[in-house]
Amino acid sequence: MKEMLFVGRGGQGVVLASQLLADTLARAGYWVQSFPEFKAERRGAPISAFLRWDEAPIHRRYKVRECDVLVVISASPPSPEIIGCVRPGGLILLNRETRFPHVGPYEIARVPGSFIARRNSVLSSEGRPMGNVAVLGACVRLLVPDGLEFLEQAIVSRMGTRAEANVVAAREGYERCTVQRRVAGDTAVEPATGPAVSGRRQSHARFPVSRTDSLLNHTGSWSEDRPVLTGECTACALCALFCPEGAIARTDHAMVIDYLYCKGCGICEVVCPVRDAITMEEVSA
Amino acid sequence: MSQSLPRGRTVMTANEAAAYAVVLARAQAIGCYPITPQTLIVERLAELVAGRDDVEYANLDSEHSMLGYVIAASRVGVRTFTATSSQGLLYAHEQLHRASRERVPLVMVNVNRSVFAPWSLEPDLSDSMSQRDTGWIQLYCSSAQEVMDSILCAYRIAETVLLPVMVCAEGFLLSHTSEVVDVPDQAAVDAFIPEFRPPKEWVLDPDVPRAFSGLPEPKEYAAFQRNVADAMDEARNVIETVGSEFGSHFGRTKIGALESGGNPEADTALVSIGTIGDSARELLDDDGELLIVRVHTYRPFPAAELSSVLSRAGSVCVVDRASAFGSFGPLGGDVRSLRLEHASAVTNFICGIGGTEVTPATLRWALHQARSSSAARGGLGPMYVPEGV
């Protein structure tokens, strides 16, 4: 049996990627099992999905904590904790154009998934590139090289009118996948301690009441993109009404975004009735 | 999303498998109220039956109303379906009692989710197991295939004995897990599930106005309750018969009271329910001295079948995934109530609460305690498996 871990952020199609690959592998004749790590389902929050496949029916009914393959859908590099989940001899596939200058007892492969998605207009409703399907093309190249047609069938079966562009992206991902060679200067990832995917365990409290001030939960640290207000903003405050974090407020007839709590979900940009009043900009690392 | 049903070997979640089974069973009235992790069942059903004039799909204002809706719809004489989870099931609690006592053959899927407080979306069986005395037949599943198959069997069972059936499936571990499911043909399902023909005196008929569930004399009231118990007993045989028939009709493993595996002569037996029973199969890879039993039908409790399969075991280790405050776990208590010929100890363990992981290591810890620790034997309650063993 092979076990796989997909990581990314809510809204990047992490769960869909895992399901599509499960369908692909089933079409290739395997028994499969795919399921998400499910917390409060909110855009921008860390998301994991698990995939198992085998030649025999699968009876494991628990999460994947150690994997043979790690697939990183988000553009940001995986944390040492996540990398620590990969078994020796395993494989890490990154949605990334540039080298990942690290080494370990695993292979590292890359595919410029977001780049491919943008070029083929495989975009989310907010207009952001959906690199997940191109990454799947690369997965298939690395895991079941004869399986591209099965991936295409899975995409067509699932995605309806959006299938065509996604099939193109999957094919490009398949073509543009590269296994990274080691070069001088690559460093080992510092091993992480503690549990990998879920939160760190604390000693048990007597009552279910949070111990820290909720205001110290700085959800702004999640963001990969953030909204920026322009001079077109009319301060209508519709964005403030829809902001799930309450991170936008109106002061003196101008909107103010509190980036300490803005997690970059982009809902404000979508609901904004004024053209170009909010633009989403990448947060530099 | 397509309105056509998949056929044959298809990848889907247990939630999707449930929706397809309901359409295959030709349910005519579907009562809905969304709750995670069940919502995808009624969402998929909405897509599947949209525009059809032979199915009524109703969005209700709560799970309580939803149960009232399917009870009433069933009494008009149509086959119904509904689904819920956790707080939704608990909110509908009084309607559950009503459905069984009025002998309404509902089929409901409960996607198991831990009970508030505090909030959790993750699975344990406390929601449905705390409803075990409401007079519903309860079937617990361990795969998406079994969810589909159990629903198809559930209509046969419910409509034969006139009791409601709750098909239980752990949230996420089943509800959101995509796996390979073999979907039967409509014609094969039609041949397996006959048209719903409720008793004449039971159906709501505007031409014959009558009072339903009025205020009877105590003796009569007691007799109606006794009828429910008798129907539950009748269900034992019906479940076995329907399960066997299902197996031969669709060419699949029989789903009946329970499933066992491993060494039938072993001194140690592990009894569990739901997906834990599936993961337990991994223990057999390196433990030849183990019998594993997975309970599929929890109500009516398969006492005879369990007594038989456990008759040679000296040590019986029962694993519950439900909270029990002040006594044994639901399954543990029930197994302890059996008269087992050779069992010197029936130990009960609780794990997997709130979606905590149950791995082979969890079960090995329990087995180790059951086999070696005198402290665990004959105690006054269950042992809680510590996290991270």
Mean pLDDT of A155-180: 95
Mean pLDDT of B252-260: 90
Q: What is the CATH number of the domain that holds B365?
A: 3.40.50.920
Per-residue CA distances from B318 to A272, B296, B361, B370 (Å):
57, 14, 15, 9
User: Which has the closest alpha carbon to A71: A167, A138, A144?
Assistant: A138
Query: What is the CATH architecture of A2-188?
Result: 3-Layer(aba) Sandwich (3.40)
Residues of the domain holding B311: 259-384
Residue range B121-146, pLDDT digits in tens: 999 999 999 999 999 999 999 999 99
- In this predicted structure, what is the pLDDT of residue B57? 98
Last residue of a domain, one of B250, B277, B311: B250
Peptide bond preceding A78 in cis form (omega within 30 of 0): no
Mean pLDDT of A50-67: 96
- In this predicted structure, what is the pLDDT of residue B385? 92
| B61 vs A225, higher pLDDT | B61
- If asked whether residues B300 and B241 sit together in one domain, one would say no
Is A195 a residue whose pLDDT tops 60? no
- Find chain B residues with C-beta within 8 A of A29's C-beta: none
- Judge whether B389 lies within some domain: no
| Cα(A81)–Cα(A62) distance, integer angstroms | 19
Mean pLDDT of A177-187: 92
Give the whole-number percent of chain B exceeding pLDDT 90. 89
- If asked whether residues B224 and B264 sit together in one domain, one would say no
By the 8 A CB rule, do B359 and B279 touch? yes
- If asked whether residues B242 and B266 sit together in one domain, one would say no
By the 8 A CB rule, do A109 and A142 touch? yes
- In this predicted structure, what is the pLDDT of residue A194? 52
Residue range A155-165, pLDDT digits in tens: 999 998 889 99
| Cα(A131)–Cα(A151) distance, integer angstroms | 15
Peptide bond preceding A80 in cis form (omega within 30 of 0): no
Peptide bond preceding B117 in cis form (omega within 30 of 0): yes
The whole-chain average pLDDT of chain A stands at: 91
- In this predicted structure, what is the pLDDT of residue B3? 81
- Judge whether B224 lies within some domain: yes
The nearest CA of chain B is from the CA of A19 a distance in Å of 7
Mean pLDDT of A243-256: 93
Is A199 a residue whose pLDDT tops 50? no
At B378, the pLDDT band (50, 70, 90 cuts) reads: low
The whole-chain average pLDDT of chain B stands at: 95
Query: How many alpha carbons lie under 13 Å from residue B370 in its C-beta half-sphere?
Result: 31
- If asked whether residues B118 and B227 sit together in one domain, one would say yes
Strands (E), chain B: 8-12, 29-32, 56-59, 80-84, 107-112, 137-140, 165-170, 178-183, 258-262, 268-273, 290-295, 297-299, 315-320, 345-350, 383-384
Is B367 a residue whose pLDDT tops 70? yes
Give the whole-number percent of chain A exceeding pLDDT 70. 93
- Judge whether B71 lies within some domain: yes
Three-state DSSP class for residue B299:
strand
- In this predicted structure, what is the pLDDT of residue A200? 47
| B372 vs B5, higher pLDDT | B5
- If asked whether residues B343 and B240 sit together in one domain, one would say no
By the 8 A CB rule, do B297 and B250 touch? no
- In this predicted structure, what is the pLDDT of residue B255? 80
Cβ distance A60 to B279 less than 8 Å, yes or no, reads yes
Which burial class, exposed, middle or buried, applies to B370 when counting CB atoms under 10 A from its CB (0-12, 13-18, 19+)? buried
DSSP B281: G
| B23 vs A182, higher pLDDT | B23
- In this predicted structure, what is the pLDDT of residue A40? 64
| Cα(B342)–Cα(B222) distance, integer angstroms | 38
Within a 10 A sphere around the Cβ of B255, how many other Cβ atoms?
A: 23
- If asked whether residues B221 and B265 sit together in one domain, one would say no
Mean pLDDT of B107-125: 97
User: Which has the closest alpha carbon to B318: B292, B339, B340, B300?
Assistant: B292
- If asked whether residues B162 and B107 sit together in one domain, one would say yes
Residue range B284-305, pLDDT digits in tens: 999 999 999 999 999 999 999 9
- Our count of domains for chain B comes to 2
In sequence order, the 6+-apart residues with CB closer than 8 A to the CB of B377 are B344, B345, B347
**Chain A contact for B5 (CB, 8 A cutoff):** no
Q: What is the CATH number of the domain that holds B114?
A: 3.40.50.970
The nearest CA of chain A is from the CA of B278 a distance in Å of 5
Is A77 a residue whose pLDDT tops 90? no
Cβ distance A208 to B179 less than 8 Å, yes or no, reads no
Cβ distance A22 to B179 less than 8 Å, yes or no, reads yes
| A184 vs A150, higher pLDDT | A150
At B318, the pLDDT band (50, 70, 90 cuts) reads: very high
Rg (CA), chain B: 21
Interface of B with A in 169-188 (CB under 8 A): 170, 172-173, 176-180
Domain boundaries, chain A: 2-188, 214-282
- If asked whether residues B300 and B167 sit together in one domain, one would say no
- In this predicted structure, what is the pLDDT of residue B374? 61
Within a 10 A sphere around the Cβ of B229, how many other Cβ atoms?
A: 11
C-alpha torsion angle, residues B128, B129, B130, B135 (rounded to 10): 80
Mean pLDDT of A228-257: 94
Is A142 a residue whose pLDDT tops 80? yes
Mean pLDDT of B6-33: 97
Complex ipTM, two decimals?
Answer: 0.91
Residue range B163-183, pLDDT digits in tens: 999 999 999 999 999 999 999
Cβ distance B117 to A208 less than 8 Å, yes or no, reads yes
- Judge whether B73 lies within some domain: yes
Q: What CATH number is given for A214-282 in this structure? A: 3.30.70.20
- Judge whether B3 lies within some domain: no
Is A285 a residue whose pLDDT tops 60? no
Say yes or no: do domains A2-188 and A214-282 share a fold.
no
Cβ distance A61 to B173 less than 8 Å, yes or no, reads yes
- If asked whether residues B337 and B246 sit together in one domain, one would say no
Is A109 a residue whose pLDDT tops 60? yes
- In this predicted structure, what is the pLDDT of residue A37? 85
- If asked whether residues B238 and B280 sit together in one domain, one would say no
